[in-house]
Structure 1
Amino acid sequence: MFKILLIEDDATLFAEIKERLAQWSYEVHGIADFTKVLETFILLKPDLVIIDIQLPKFDGFHWCRMIRTHSNVPIVFLSSRDHPTDMVMSMQLGADDFIQKPFHFDVLIAKIHAILRRVYNYNTEQMKLKTWCGATIDFEKNIVSHASGSIELTKNEIYILKLLIEHKNTIVTREDMINSLWNDQRFVSDNTLTVNVNRLRKKLDELDLGRFIETKVGQGYMATEVTPKYD
């Protein structure tokens, strides 16, 4: 899940953008104190920044300069200002795109997809394939391969496994898992989550991997990581 820092002081627009991006599983964060934009950025470490030009205290250009002293994270300006000098200035400061308000949400989302795909190359074979506990997971084909064989998972099972591995060695709460699955329009039932995790663990047992999906009573689940030993 990509983290996006949305630096926008219009509460209504912020809420609408956050809701739209959540439908694409983007994790959107805002600014509580517009005098501490840089501090928020450093703590959050977002994958992309969307920033308005007209902001309280200091404008978007100022914060773009500050962010650029610390990071090359992709930056998109979102502004009602349409003077060519604003667009030129944003590009000179190192922004990746400039979107003028009002805008169509499909355009915003398409641009975000394109920038993240270009910068992080998340659609490559490297991201489709992942290793975990000596096994190779093909997220495109829903197959887990190990020296002892391979298994095929359902879409729900591969999604759960992916979510747990992305947060390996960290407890993922049941609430967070259900919310994530809800945003992905899969299922929300607490009982259904339990059933799917149990099915996933049972399948992984065929490869002696089920033991690495731990149940944390009263909290959630955790995928542990081990370094495989070779004779």
Structure 2
Amino acid sequence: MQTIMIVEDDPKIAELIQSYISKYGYTVTLVADFDHVMDEFHKHRPDLVLLDINLPRYDGYYWCRQIRTQSICPVIFISARIGEMDQVMALENGGDDFITKPFHSEIVLAKIRSHLRRAYGEYAVKVGERILEKDGLKLYPERLELLFGTKVVSLTKKEADIIESLIERYPRVSGREDLLEKLWDDQAYVDENTLNVNMTRVRKKFLELGIDNAIETVRGAGYRLNVSWTRAGS
């Protein structure tokens, strides 16, 4: 059963959509805390998101960008904004489609079905899942998961990209410039500490798997995977 997450601050509209599409076999979850949309996303791991633009504090464009750092699930914007630029902004910020209010519930359902088919069903591109392995460590880039032994941790898209680069280049060094280019399209707008922060997060994910000293810092060059796994605490 596929899960649809609705991020809409008008409870009447949200409940209307929920009531209609749940009749067709979908699990529907409504976001109520608009300051912590990503917490709800991680909790429910939806197959598709219906996202309003006008939301408290952060708008839908912002939340779509956050989703895109961690998932490629379909995102359909639903908004009362009807300007062409609003639709352009929705697509440029990672959205897949745009529905204007007021809308017919049948249109919403049809678009949901269409995007789910393209993403997961009969129209989806059939590509074998990639698995990168190194000495018992397994990275699933499309799942955003890292496994070691019986333990598994969830990753952000950037964390997965860093680990993928480290595995692919082993035993060579992954240069700082190469990592920056892989993670961010325009390095000019990236603070030099940003990569350090992300590497710290990656190291913490290895610690969650019970691995210490998994990443070696090569002074003046970059980072290298250390496959002589040391159990954390040993």
TM-score (norm 1): 0.52
Distance 1:59 1:38 in 2: 13
Matched residue, 2:7: 7
CA contact (8 A) 1:61 1:93 kept: yes
Distance 2:32 2:46 in 1: 16
Give the CA deviation at 1:39.
Answer: 1.1
CA contact (8 A) 1:116 1:122 kept: no
Give the CA deviation at 1:122.
Answer: 5.1
Which amino acid in structure 1 is aligned with residue 113 of structure 2? H
CA contact (8 A) 1:5 1:46 kept: yes
Q: Secondary structure at the match of 1:5?
A: strand
Matched residue, 2:20: 20
**Structure 1: which 5+ residue stretches go unaligned?**
127-231
Which amino acid in structure 2 is aligned with residue 51 of structure 1? L
Give the CA deviation at 1:32.
Answer: 2.3
Which amino acid in structure 1 is aligned with residue 86 of structure 2? D
Matched residue, 1:88: 88
Distance 2:34 2:6 in 1: 12
Matched residue, 2:145: none
Task: Confirm or deny that 1:45 pairs with 2:45.
Answer: yes
Q: Secondary structure at the match of 2:85?
A: helix
How many residues are matched?
Answer: 125
Distance 1:91 1:104 in 2: 21
Deviations 1:66-104 (A, max 9, x none): 111111110000000011111001111121100000011
Q: Secondary structure at the match of 1:39?
A: helix
Which amino acid in structure 1 is aligned with residue 51 of structure 2? I
Which amino acid in structure 2 is aligned with residue 21 of structure 1? I
Q: Secondary structure at the match of 1:57?
A: coil
TM-score (norm 2): 0.51
How many percent identity over aligned positions? 42
**Structure 2: which 5+ residue stretches go unaligned?**
127-234
Matched residue, 2:72: 72
Matched residue, 1:34: 34
Which amino acid in structure 2 is aligned with residue 90 of structure 1? A
Which amino acid in structure 2 is aligned with residue 13 of structure 1? I
Distance 2:32 2:100 in 1: 24
Q: Which has the higher contact order (CA 8 A, sep 6+)?
A: 1
Matched residue, 1:211: none
CA contact (8 A) 1:21 1:109 kept: yes
The structure 1 segments of at least 4 consecutive aligned residues displaced by more than 4 Å after TM superposition are none
